[in-house]
Chain A
Amino acid sequence: MRALIIDDSAVMRKVIERALRQSGLDLTEVVQASNGEEALEILRTDTTSPTKIGLIISDINMPVMDGLQFLEAKRDQQLAVGVPVVMITTEGSEPFVLRAIAAGAQGYICKPFTAEQVKARVVPLIEAA
């Protein structure tokens, strides 16, 4: 399975990737984007790869296009339909999380997080997809 991680922080992308790899998922590749616009472009052109993206992890607060705008655009453009999306957010941002779930996110993880928490949130969504 391939995963798409969207975060404007290169450090967080790396931390999330490490947590995903520790969760026991069979990840063949982790694709990274630094904002929602880059992520949409990746999804639009992700038609030739033999393995489709099967998981999207996205930050909410990002420049250029934030996580909520990304979710709405992804939904409107019918991209990665049925692929689980998990939002990563800073503690205390629950109103944004509710909006993200309304826009199509299946779950969320609050920062700070442990690799175990990432596994607990992500694995059931992959199994159910």
Chain B
Amino acid sequence: MTAWQTSQLDWIGRLDSAVSEVFGMMLERDCSPADITGAIAPCISARILFSGAIRGECVLFASESVAQATAEALLGTPSEPGDPMTGDAIGELCNMIAGGWKSKLGSDEAGCAISPPTIGTHDSEMDLNLEDGFRRFYRFECHVFGVHMNF
């Protein structure tokens, strides 16, 4: 295994751990990696940029219905389709996942800064242009969403 592959496995492990922690603490839900193929469409996304010691991005993407279910779980109250709180909730989750991932880095790499989340809606996951880096899908209850990281 190359050094790059080892480092990528390490980053994936940290991402799994950060996602599980955020969902466990903030939503009181179990969330674990899901083995799925195919694209999520249409979707809502939250994008966080890393700068400094590490340059890259973390993108959380989910279908609108999953984003709505996620917002409801976070807030503990029902939300309507198109509710602006849904995008806000996805942005906050992405922020916490990126922050959690960053906090698990070594001290040199943890010197990077993370940007506020940018929220977008897309006709297709393909519109996100997530070609490089790695992507993981996660499931909580019956809902699946994706996280993409690129450095």
Q: Does A124 contact B (CB under 8 A)?
A: no
Q: Check B88–A9 contact: CB distance below 8 A.
A: yes
Specify which of A8, A10, A90, A113 is in contact with B85 (CB 8 Å cutoff).
A10
Q: Does B41 contact A (CB under 8 A)?
A: no
A58-86 interface code vs B (CB 8 A; 1 in, 0 out): 00010100000000000000000000000
Q: Does A14 contact B (CB under 8 A)?
A: yes
A1-20 interface code vs B (CB 8 A; 1 in, 0 out): 00000001111101100100
B90-101 interface code vs A (CB 8 A; 1 in, 0 out): 011001101110
Q: Does B71 contact A (CB under 8 A)?
A: yes
Distance in Å: Cβ of A103 to nearest Cβ of chain B: 19
Q: Check B99–A92 contact: CB distance below 8 A.
A: yes
Specify which of A14, A63, A91 is in contact with B102 (CB 8 Å cutoff).
A91
Given A14-B75, A90-B95, the answer on whether A112 and B26 have CB atoms closer than 8 Å is yes
Q: Check B25–A113 contact: CB distance below 8 A.
A: yes
Q: Check A11–B114 contact: CB distance below 8 A.
A: no
Given A18-B76, A112-B21, the answer on whether A11 and B89 have CB atoms closer than 8 Å is yes
Which size bracket describes the interface of B in this complex?
20 to 34
Specify which of A90, A92, A111, A113 is in contact with B110 (CB 8 Å cutoff).
A92
Q: Check B96–A90 contact: CB distance below 8 A.
A: yes
Specify which chain B residues have a CB less than 8 angstroms from the CB of A61 in the assembled complex. Answer: 116
Scan residues 99-137 of chain B and give those whose CB is less than 8 A from a CB of chain A.
99-100, 102-103, 105, 110, 114, 116
Scan residues 79-126 of chain A and give those whose CB is less than 8 A from a CB of chain B.
90-93, 111-114
